[in-house]
Amino acid sequence: SDQRPLLDAEPSPLPFEPARAALVIIDMQRDFLEPGGFGESLGNDVSLLAAAVPPARSLLAAARAAGLFIVHTREGHAPDLSDAPPAKLERGAPRARIGEPGPMGRILIRGEPGHDIVTELAPLDGEPVIDKPGKGAFYATGLAALLEARGIETLIVCGVTTEVCVHTTVREANDRGYRCVVVADACGSYIPAFHEAGLAMIKAQGGIFGWVSHSGAVLAALG
C-alpha cells in the first residue's frame, strides 16, 4: 500500500514524499511587499501581500526542519536591461518603468535594495536563489536542471503575486510534469478578487493544473 504522507488539498488529498518535494517561494521581494517600496508607490495596499509573510515563514521553517529542497526566486533584470524585452520595458507609466529610479533603488534591477527578499524570508547559505527575467520561474533560468538533479516531483509553491508570478510558474511547472500545490494563505495579490480567482482556476475541473492547500495542512504533512 501507499505509505506516503497525505497532504490535505483541493480538489483532492495528495500523497507526497518529502524527499521528492521542493518548497518554491516566489518573488517575496522588498519592492513588492514593504511599505515605502515600489509596489506601494503605485498606490497598492501592500498589507495584502504582507499577510502572506507569516505563513510563508512558517512553511520555510518547517521545510528547513524536514530537510526539503528549498528554492527562492526574484523577478528582476541586469542593470543594463539586456535581459528585458522591449515589450516589458515599454509598459507602465514612465516613472514606474523597469530600470527607473524607485524608492528602494532602480525598479526591478538586480543588486538594488528593493530587489532583495524581505528579511523574514531571507535565504540561508546553500538555498538556491533563482533570478528570473520573466513571470515564470522556468523561463531563462536554471530551475529545471536544479529540480531534475534532485529527482523532485512535487512543488509546494507560495509567494507573490498569486495571479501573476505564482500562476505563471505553476502553469510552466505543470506542463513540465510537476505536481504543484499552491499554499493559499502564503500567497497574496494587490487585487483580492484576482487572488481568489487565481486559486479557484488552479483547482477547478479536478485540479486542471494543480492543487490548493493551506500552510497548516503542509505543516501537518511535514510532521
Least distance between ligand C5J and beta carbon 190 (Å):
8
Is 165 a known active-site residue?
A: yes
Q: Which of 76, 40, 57, 75 is nearest to 168 (CA)?
A: 75
Total site size for ligand C5J, rule CB under 6 A: 6
3-class secondary structure, 79: coil
Told to judge if 180 belongs to the known catalytic residues of this protein, a careful annotator would answer no
Segment near ligand C5J (CB under 6 A); pick from 86-94, 120-128, 160-168, 170-178: 160-168
161 binds ligand C5J (CB under 6 A): yes
H helices, E strands: number in the chain: 9, 10
> Mask 70-99, x = binds ligand C5J (CB under 6 A)?
-----x------------------------
β-pairing verdict for 179-188 and 211-213: parallel
Q: Per CB under 6 A, does 164 bind ligand C5J?
A: yes
| Alpha-carbon span 117 to 123, nearest angstrom | 8
DSSP state of 6: E
Strand 129-132 versus strand 105-106 pairing type = unpaired
Per the structure block, which three cell numbers stand in for 192? 483580492
CA distance 188 to 97: 22
Q: Which residue has the cell 518548497?
A: 23
Least distance between ligand C5J and beta carbon 5 (Å)? 30
Is 165 one of the binding residues for ligand C5J (CB under 6 A)? yes
Give the ranges where the chain is alpha helix by DSSP (H).
30-33, 38-41, 47-50, 53-66, 86-89, 143-149, 167-175, 192-207, 215-222
The smaller minimum CB distance to ligand C5J, of residues 143 and 217, is found at 143
Residue number with CB closer to ligand C5J (166 or 217): 166
Closest contact distance (angstroms) between CB of 140 and ligand C5J is 15
109 binds ligand C5J per the rule CB under 6 A: no
Find the shortest distance in angstroms from Cβ 199 to ligand C5J: 14
What is the edge-to-edge ordering of all strands in the sheet holding 21-26?
Answer: 129-132, 69-75, 21-26, 154-160, 179-188, 211-213
Q: Please identify which of the residues 31, 116, 131, 132 carries the catalytic annotation.
A: 132
Which of 165, 180, 185, 203 is an active site residue?
A: 165
Q: Should residue 169 be labelled a site residue for ligand C5J when binding is judged by CB under 6 A?
A: no
Q: Interface with ligand C5J by CB under 6 A: which residues?
A: 27, 75, 160-161, 164-165
| Catalytic residue annotation | 27, 132, 165
